[in-house]
């Protein structure tokens, strides 16, 4: 069994980004990322702090717009429009989830697709499906980078994606189909999840349910990518996979923490760098 080390790969990618940023700075170019953070969700604050630190590490300019839970949709939209027109900002990220009174889709659609470094705008989503150059959501492209790093060939593989969210499951499936894999998407309404996972050469799970994937649901030699991150009552962070038992059957598996999570931030930085270069025809 090989452990897929997302932390080491993320550090390697961030090092490459930092070197590129240093070259751009000699031309007076500093990539800029703006984040909108609404409310007091502890997990969201943690993620945003991690993104801020990552920006600082690689030499980006970054700004966080912290907004109260009660803010109106119109005020968020006005802030995004302001950032769309701000020449210092190359990437705009709205930290999800947003409060219930805010229409998330409307907010995401206001972001200039050329600054949509999270890859959630319908324009970019459509281009991802068609296999065209675009910003893809950070977690799915982070997973694709892992496959590349570990020389895992996806062509012709049977892959089961567990979870059908717009952020992970659907774009993940599109990227895999474009890599010539045979993809099954399962979700909360799937009748017999195990019947799909047992046949899969690769299982990619992002459902937000601890120990959802158990050893009896995985065939010998399968590759398991665990995108889930859940905090248990004792404070431990675990994924959606029963790691201890499933790992005994796998050829490759990602740990939680230290697997897909660090890759998501690395891809956010990479998308922002790409946006900065594109805006300046670099």
DSSP string, 168-180: THHHHHHHHHHTT
- Would you say residue 281 has pLDDT above 90? no
Alpha-carbon distance 49 to 71, whole Å? 21
How high is the mean pLDDT of the chain? 96
CA-angle at 63, arms to 57 and 69, nearest 5°: 125
Which of these is catalytic: 5, 14, 90, 95? 95
95 is catalytic: yes
- The encoded tokens of residue 66 equal 């912290």
Alpha-carbon distance 44 to 35, whole Å? 11
Alpha-carbon distance 99 to 75, whole Å? 14
- Would you say residue 43 has pLDDT above 90? no
Strand runs labelled E in the chain: 2-3, 32-38, 61-67, 91-94, 158-162, 182-186, 202-205, 223-226, 230-231, 237-238, 252-253
pLDDT for residue 19:
98
User: Model's pTM, two decimal places?
Assistant: 0.96
Cβ–Cβ < 8 Å for 131, 162: no
Per-residue pLDDT reduced to its tens digit, 163-203: 999 999 999 999 999 999 999 999 999 999 999 999 999 99
pLDDT for residue 97:
94
Alpha-carbon distance 192 to 183, whole Å? 16
Mean pLDDT of 211-217: 97
**Which residues have C-beta within 8 Å of that of residue 158, sequence separation ≥ 6?**
181, 182, 184, 199, 200, 201, 202
Which of these is catalytic: 5, 14, 51, 157? 51
118 is catalytic: yes
Which of these is catalytic: 5, 90, 118, 240? 118
Q: Which domains does the chain have, with CATH numbers?
A: 29-112 (3.40.50.10860), 138-261 (3.40.50.720)
191 is catalytic: no
Per-residue pLDDT reduced to its tens digit, 229-267: 998 889 889 999 999 999 999 999 999 999 999 999 999
Which residue, 1, 2, 4, is CA-closest to 149? 4
């Amino acid at each position: 069994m090989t452990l897929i080390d997302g932390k080491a790969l993320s550090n390697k990618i961030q090092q490459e980004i930092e070197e590129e940023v240093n070259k751009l700075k000699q031309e007076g170019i500093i990539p800029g990322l703006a984040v909108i953070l609404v409310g007091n969700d502890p997990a969201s604050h943690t993620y945003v702090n991690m993104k801020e630190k990552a920006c600082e590490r690689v030499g980006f300019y970054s700004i966080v717009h912290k907004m109260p839970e009660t803010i109106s949709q119109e005020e968020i939209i006005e802030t995004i429009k302001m950032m769309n027109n701000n020449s210092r900002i190359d990437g705009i990220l709205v930290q999800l989830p947003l409060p219930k009174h805010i229409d998330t889709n409307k907010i995401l659609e206001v972001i200039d697709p050329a600054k949509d470094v999270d890859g959630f705008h319908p324009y970019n989503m459509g281009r991802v499906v068609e296999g065209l150059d675009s910003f893809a959501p950070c977690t799915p492209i982070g997973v694709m980078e892992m496959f590349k790093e570990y020389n895992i060939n996806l062509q012709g593989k049977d892959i089961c994606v567990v979870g059908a969210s717009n952020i992970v499951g659907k774009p993940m499936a599109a990227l895999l189909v474009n890599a010539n894999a045979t993809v099954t998407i399962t979700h909360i309404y799937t009748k017999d999840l195990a019947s799909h996972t047992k046949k899969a050469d690769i299982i990619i799970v992002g459902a937000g349910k601890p120990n959802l994937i158990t050893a009896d649901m995985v065939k010998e030699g399968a590759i398991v990518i665990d995108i889930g991150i859940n905090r248990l009552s004792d404070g431990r962070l675990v994924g959606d996979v029963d790691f201890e038992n499933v790992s005994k059957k796998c050829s490759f598996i990602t740990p939680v923490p230290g697997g897909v999570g660090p890759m998501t931030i690395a891809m956010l930085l990479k998308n922002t760098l790409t946006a900065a270069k594109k805006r300046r025809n670099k």
